[in-house]
Amino acid sequence: MLVSMETGVNDAIVIGGGFAGIAAACRLAGDGHRPLLIERAPRLGGRASSFVSRETGESIDFGQHVLMRCCTTSTGFLLRIGLPDAIRFQPTLSVPIVSPEGRTLLRSSAFPGIFHLAPALLRFRLLPFSERVRVLRAGLALALTRARTDRSFAEWLAAHGQSPAAVERLWDPISIATLNAPSDAVGLHAARKVFRDAFFRPDGADLGFFTFSLSEVFTAARRYIENRGGTVRTSDGVRLLIVEEGRIAGVELESGEQFDSEAVVCAVPPPALEKLAGSDGPLEPILEAASRLRWGPIVNLHAWFDRPVLDEAFSVAVGSPAQAVFDVTQLHGGSPGGLTHVVLSQSAADEWIDRPVEDVSTSLLNALGELFPAVRAAKPCRTLVLRSRQATFIPEPSVDRLRPRAPTPIDGLYLAGDWISTGWPSTIEGAIRSGIVAAAYVEERLRVDRLVDDGDE
Ligand SMILES: Cc1cc2nc3c(=O)[nH]c(=O)nc-3n(C[C@H](O)[C@H](O)[C@H](O)COP(=O)(O)OP(=O)(O)OC[C@H]3O[C@@H](n4cnc5c(N)ncnc54)[C@H](O)[C@@H]3O)c2cc1C
């Protein structure tokens, strides 16, 4: 029987309360099961979690998260947990690109199919006209290319006539924003996925911004699970997986409590999985491959100004130390204390991650002032630097060989997490998809077990 020692009701255990584990638990709860979700941290959300500022009471997200309209499983998940308005999508893709030399707009047009961005690229003022035409040609070739290859995206771009300026001003900003690494660090395969699912579809790349702090998503998810008879435990991690004769039998928590279960979803990143499984057990080949995944940092500077400083809620900087610029006050429709909350999000942040906080703040505020003159007249009342050292894995050329599928050699144990093989980069969408896939395996497992139980009677 599948029974929890504590309550006698949970029929599956999910370890890890990031988007992957939450998606798995919500799926199970929504389909009539009673999952037990166990999260080590005091709050749900993992890398997408938030904390409450002691000074202002504001809920601040560790990472400024953006989705694109192609992230359909994420929007489906938010609908399922009762948050249809959690994301506001742009009516059409429109990204202001700012640089110290001027500004241009990457905006979708009425042109059909993959040509929807052609007019914007032909007007892309940050490159000479001849280069814009070459960018269009490369875009077409990228849409048509089929070969699976271990080439880097940068090699492919060079082979298709893309100049260093085109890479620096267009291709790398897109690669860094979507894959957390520049084109020479990512595989062609990963870049092609982003372009095919998002930019080559008229609405695939429309940006979606959360209309409130992500903590509200996790509050709603918790409510969804608990209202359906599931249980959410926080502040107590799993210490080890209990495996008997090659089958999962339950888990032991750091507090020493044990829970039996014949179906467990493990939705934690590879180092945490290694601690749970030990390094020389049946998961060893999975762990060995996963240890070769390279993870990249993201650094965010939060700045609160005494007045509005940005016209747009979101823009991308090129030719500047700054990258993505968010006006959180506009995105969330207000900010405690009437201040203007701006976030500068630095992806592929290897050069920022170990710099002193003061240095990060000063450099990025100066860069912001260079891009937006209104910033220079405003007073930054407070700043905060948040660093995520292992924010996402980098989709290097051979990455697909390192990502395991959900089933494991341990019967009844399934893996989830953004790093599992979903075809998606290290994103909320990848995490949610992995959780739903793992939940589907658990459901199948529970169904089969029930049939076998019935047969025994
Ligand atoms: C700064 C930043 C910005 C980002 N921006 C974006 C973006 O704009 N768009 C996007 O789509 N994605 C973005 N991402 C990536 C996205 O946040 C992740 O892909 C996603 O949140 C991963 O979810 P996950 O559930 O797979 O893993 P995690 O969020 O890492 O969750 C794993 C959970 O397991 C828990 N855990 C570990 N060990 C144990 C244990 N023994 N017992 C119990 N619990 C345990 C951890 O505490 C954690 O909560 C960003 C990430 C960062 C850090």
pLDDT tens per residue across span 342-380: 999 999 999 999 999 999 999 999 999 999 999 999 999
Closest residue to atom 1 of ligand 1, CA basis: 63
Which atom of ligand 1 is the closest one to the Cα of 66? 8
The CATH number of the domain holding residue 114 is 1.10.3110
Q: Are residues 123 and 258 in the same domain?
A: no
State the pLDDT confidence band at 454, using cuts at 50, 70 and 90.
low
Q: Does 363 reside within a domain?
A: yes
Q: Does 2 reside within a domain?
A: no
Q: Are residues 285 and 305 in the same domain?
A: no
The CATH number of the domain holding residue 27 is 3.50.50.60
Domain end call among 365, 393, 421:
393
Q: What amino acid is encoded at 371 in this protein?
A: L
Instruction: Please work out whether the CB of residue 48 comes within 6 Å of at least one atom of ligand 1.
Output: yes
Which atom of ligand 1 is the closest one to the Cα of 391? 53
Q: Does 57 reside within a domain?
A: yes
Which atom of ligand 1 is the closest one to the Cα of 416? 26
Instruction: Please work out whether the CB of residue 404 comes within 6 Å of at least one atom of ligand 1.
Output: no
Instruction: Please work out whether the CB of residue 140 comes within 6 Å of at least one atom of ligand 1.
Output: no
Q: Are residues 287 and 427 in the same domain?
A: yes
Q: Does 418 reside within a domain?
A: yes
Angstrom distance (rounded) from CA 115 to CA 196: 12
Domain end call among 362, 393, 424:
393
Closest residue to atom 45 of ligand 1, CA basis: 16
Q: What is the mean pLDDT of residues 324-329?
A: 98
Q: Are residues 224 and 312 in the same domain?
A: no
The structure's pTM equals 0.96
Angstrom distance (rounded) from CA 420 to CA 412: 17
Q: Is the pLDDT of residue 2 over 50?
A: no
- How many angstroms is it from 392 CA to the middle of ligand 1? 8
Instruction: Please work out whether the CB of residue 296 comes within 6 Å of at least one atom of ligand 1.
Output: no
Q: Does 92 reside within a domain?
A: no
Torsion angle, alpha carbons of 163, 168, 172, 173, to 10 = -140
| Counted domains in the chain | 3
- How many angstroms is it from 247 CA to the middle of ligand 1? 27
Return the beta strands (E) in 214-313 as ranges. 231-233, 238-244, 247-253, 258-260, 264-266, 295-305
Average pLDDT for the chain: 94
The residue range of the domain holding 121 is 104-202
Q: Does 94 reside within a domain?
A: no
Which atom of ligand 1 is the closest one to the Cα of 63? 1
Q: Are residues 226 and 270 in the same domain?
A: yes
Share of the chain above pLDDT 90, in %: 89
- How many angstroms is it from 415 CA to the middle of ligand 1? 14
Q: Does 87 reside within a domain?
A: no
Q: Does 265 reside within a domain?
A: yes
Q: Are residues 286 and 405 in the same domain?
A: yes
The CATH number of the domain holding residue 306 is 3.90.660.10
Which atom of ligand 1 is the closest one to the Cα of 47? 29
Q: Are residues 443 and 314 in the same domain?
A: no
Q: Are residues 248 and 339 in the same domain?
A: no
